Structure 1
Amino acid sequence: MALQPAGFVAPRYTDVSDHRLARTLTAEDRSEEDGLDPLERVTCRTHRRWLHDCVSSPLHVVIVTGTRWCRNCECALNVAIDQLAGDVAVHCPSCGETPATRATRQLVRACRASLATAADR
């Protein structure tokens, strides 16, 4: 892959009004090609947003990995984002529990990192 100048924005993100978001999306796309786990991103390539802004979308449920999924109840988990406090809460709408899984911990970590990165002006 060719070197890009600092602040480079990929063509697919040039219409994103938040320039920091556009640069971060571009950087994470490149990092993903170099081995970044897609589940560790702080941005969402599909929605072209910060992860914490779209994590509640049904597209972010990954049954195979258990991401936003309660295996006991076989249903999607709810995610609540408190942008002021910088907190992320995940719970099952059926049993009310937060699955103590690696996928849930990773999702909370990624959302908190997304909140922090978006707020770091």
Structure 2
Amino acid sequence: MNPADPKIAIGWTTAPQREVAESIGRALVDQKLVACAQVTGPVTSIYRWQSKLCQEEEFRLILKFSANRQEAVRDALLALHPYDTPQWIVTLADSSSTDYAAWVGGG
């Protein structure tokens, strides 16, 4: 990736149903905030919420986007997501192919 180009960001969240994850992903791609949305699962999530141990089936939504869109992606995701406190974790790719970076950067 050219250092002058924005880095690729990869964000993760989960949703309670596949249809919800797909709907969020479709909306973010349609709004040209992300280049790609991938839904995987189901996955089993074990966590503590409001002092209670929980175990739920969820679907993982992986989003790839230009790092300079990070705030806009987060804001749109939070507006679309049904959870009170959705998981939102973002990391930057250390490297990628030039063509792929250009495609992600184009939204």
* Pairwise TM-score range, normalised by the shorter structure: under 0.3
Using structure 2 for the length normalisation, give the TM-score: 0.27
- Of structures 1 and 2, the one with the larger relative CO (CA 8 A, separation 6+) is 2
> Which structure features the higher share of helix residues?
1
Using structure 1 for the length normalisation, give the TM-score: 0.25
